[in-house]
Chains A and B, each alone.
Chain A
Amino acid sequence: MTLAVSTSVEPETQIDQVIVKASDINVFYGDKQALYTVSLHVPQNKVTALIGPSGCGKTTFLKCINRMNDLIDICRVEGEILVGDQDIYAPAVDVVALRAHIGMVFQKPNPFPKSIFDNVAYGLRIHNIATSKTELADRVESSLRSAALWEEVKDRLDQPGTSLSGGQQQRLCIARAIAIQPKIILMDEPASALDPIATAKIEELIDDLRQNYTIIIVTHSMQQAARVSQYTAFFHMGELVEHGKTKSIFTAPNDERTQNYITGRIG
């Protein structure tokens, strides 16, 4: 089986700056352990794909990074995650500020049942980012442009976000996330509910966003991982089995489980 590997040419010698350093992460849901001593370095301004069979803990790991796991009463996280040089599980950390810097796009498009404009403007408003009405409108427009949605919605900004198609809704959610200019964007299978054309648009968008953001994307599609990511981490049954440049993971995996997964024998 051959896979189309990311076309973007990376100079092999360059050492990428690391922005997220996760060390020895154990996650428990009640008594059940979902992640086993996962350590992963995520490079800046790159797309890192988390792949693996369903239930292996990809979402769990992703949600550790913006502490969305805090919302699950029975969930307990052990270990250390540094974003930049700050430990995000330190007691002094304010999750509201953390999430303003680490945006998230979910599996199912979840726009607010408000207008398209208000969807994008919401984050700007609560974080008090725009100082005037015109600045707000400008930022909404530029976010929608960055999310490649502006041309499609510019005449209907006052219509509900929920009236858009699935693919448009997901791009609206991306626009909403990037409006407040986070450093990192977490994406949990952002295209799994979309048709191939909408998926292609999202993938194209992800490639563009890499210029300004670090993207960590969960996907169960290896083709997608190959197309959009520069780095890939393979999870299996709560363990991080292997992690490295996407090209090398797909062409020369070290671990037998990775080999089996990318050739379609597990998953």
Chain B
Amino acid sequence: MTDTFTKRTPHLARRHAREIRFQWLGKIAISIAVGFLLIMVGTISWMGAGALKQTQISLQVYLDPQEIDTSAVEKADYGAMVKTALRATFPEVKKRRDTRKLYKLLSSQAAFGLQRQIKENPDLIGQTKSVWFIASDDVDMFFKANITVDTNGNAGKLDEKQVQWLATLDKSGAVRSRFNTGFFLSGDSREPELAGILSAFAGTTLTLFVCFLLSFPIGILAAVYLEEFIPENRWSDLIEVNINNLAAVPSIVFGLLGLAVFLNAFDLPRSSPLVGGMVLALMTLPTIIIASRSALRSVPPSIREAALGIGATRTQMVFHHVAPLAMSGMLTGTIIGMARALGETAPLLMIGMVAFIVDTPTSILQPATALPVQIFLWADSPERGFLEKTSAAIIVLIAFLIAMNLIAIILRNKYRQRF
């Protein structure tokens, strides 16, 4: 027989067919998963990309020395100056109602930008300067082509006249689109064109910091103690079952616990990253303990025997040999837990981290909000401008998550050891 290795019996052919079928099923499953991921990331990026751009309008502003007191530059009425400049640009607008519409083209906070410029450079006083102002959210939406002009000449909240003025401005080159640094450098605002992510980002960072500081050491120590020190008996089984159950408790329950214990009983500051971090730590602990215990269990017993056999104490055995080998698994568990904590909204709502926060929190005791809560708040707002902010905030959240995972991978590779 020369064809022993080349002939395909029907049985062998069937086995190969089964193999190929299975591989195809795997490929299809992966394509579906990747496809959905791409769709999700794609839509969010597409919707959120707009938030990175900001429409600005340029006006000739006369910085009247009579209006600005050089000894107290910030006290001057810049709002009035901006309004004067707007009227000067469109001298034909006379009626009160129309001027008010004209003012609406700019963000209500546009004058702040001017104030800042003058403060930095008081020499400008007395000159007529061309200044870029942040447009209102309606104008912003209009130029981002999110709103189309209807048959009456209206575009969303903008009416016929406003659309015409904008066309005039655009033609004269007084409209531009710039990278929206304000989105990353300012806190929340009622005005969509001014709302930024910084306060929520800082809140999330502080909250996760507290969460990590509490849950990592407590979780690891609990896991080490349960796994390496106490004998296996009915009590250890009971503890194990309870920890597993805790991992499955809905997060809002931890929020209620935080409300009852941390806020009402201990009287800790409401809405603060401290309490948020404590609540999230409670939620994260079971995950860390379970993952760390399984990491410890995967360390071969021969290492423990080696250490104890040479006269190491249990603590030395754990901290010199077992824990370093389990470290990468323990870190993975911690990051998984923290990633879940990062996306949590419900427990934070319960402890009041849902407040409208403009200022960036700088300590864990100040009121703060968190990224997912910010997303929730913006998604709930009626203004169209918040729609793209919501998506942009989601992108920031995802970027945060990826950064956390990267740190985890780096740490894991650092601690990876063979055994």
Contacts and interface: CB of A to CB of B under 8 A. Distances in A.
B308 A176 contact: no
A103 B308 contact: no
A113 B418 contact: yes
A100 B309 contact: no
B413 interface: no
A97 B312 CA distance: 9
Interface string B296-310: 000010111111111
A26 interface: no
B418 A126 contact: no
Contacts of B418: 113, 160, 162
B309 A68 contact: yes
Interface in A23-55: none
Contacts of B312: 96, 122, 126
A99 B308 contact: yes
Given A106-B309, A180-B310, 9 more contacts: A68-B305, A71-B305, A73-B231, A103-B309, A106-B302, A110-B306, A113-B325, A122-B312, A177-B310
B306 A173 contact: yes
Interface in B209-255: 231-233
Given A73-B232, A113-B419, A103 B310 contact: yes
A99 B306 contact: no
A156 interface: no
A110 B419 CA distance: 9
B419 A96 contact: no
A180 B310 CA distance: 8
Given A71-B308, A73-B231, A96 B303 contact: no
A66 interface: yes
Contacts of B311: 96-100, 123, 126-127, 180
A112 B309 contact: no
B313 interface: yes
A167 interface: no
B321 interface: yes
A110 B306 CA distance: 6
B148 interface: no
B310 A162 contact: no
9 contacts: A98-B311, A104-B310, A106-B302, A108-B302, A110-B305, A112-B321, A122-B310, A122-B320, A126-B320
A123 to B, nearest CB: 4
A43 to B, nearest CB: 23
A176 B311 CA distance: 11
Contacts of B300: 110
Interface in B305-346: 305-313, 316, 320-321, 325
A162 B417 CA distance: 11
A111 interface: yes
A176 to B, nearest CB: 6
A112 B308 contact: no
Interface in A121-177: 122-123, 126-127, 160, 162, 173, 176-177
Interface of B: 231-233, 300, 302-313, 316, 320-321, 325, 417-419
Contacts of A176: 306, 310
B303 A110 contact: yes
A264 B304 CA distance: 36
B314 to A, nearest CB: 9
Nearest to B300: A110
Contacts of A111: 306
Contacts of A97: 311
Contacts of A68: 305, 308-309
B334 to A, nearest CB: 22
A113 B302 contact: no
Contacts of A103: 309-310
A166 to B, nearest CB: 13
A99 B317 CA distance: 13
A16 B196 CA distance: 87
| 5 A-B pairs with the lowest CB-CB distances in the bound complex, closest first | A100-B311, A110-B302, A104-B309, A99-B311, A73-B231
B236 to A, nearest CB: 10
B306 A162 contact: no
Nearest to A99: B311
Contacts of A100: 310-311
B238 to A, nearest CB: 16
A53 to B, nearest CB: 23
Nearest to B233: A73
Contacts of A112: 303, 306-307, 321
Interface string A187-216: 000000000000000000000000000000
Nearest to B309: A104
Nearest to B324: A113
A173 B305 CA distance: 12
Which of B305, B310, B312 gathers the greatest number of chain A CB atoms within 10 Å? B310
A122 B312 CA distance: 9
B310 A106 contact: no
A173 B325 CA distance: 19
Interface in A91-118: 96-100, 103-104, 106, 108, 110-113
A182 B55 CA distance: 81
A113 B417 contact: yes
Contact of A96 (B302, B313, B321, B417): B313
Contacts of B419: 113, 162
Interface in A215-233: none
A30 to B, nearest CB: 12
B232 A66 contact: no
A177 B231 CA distance: 27
Nearest to A100: B311
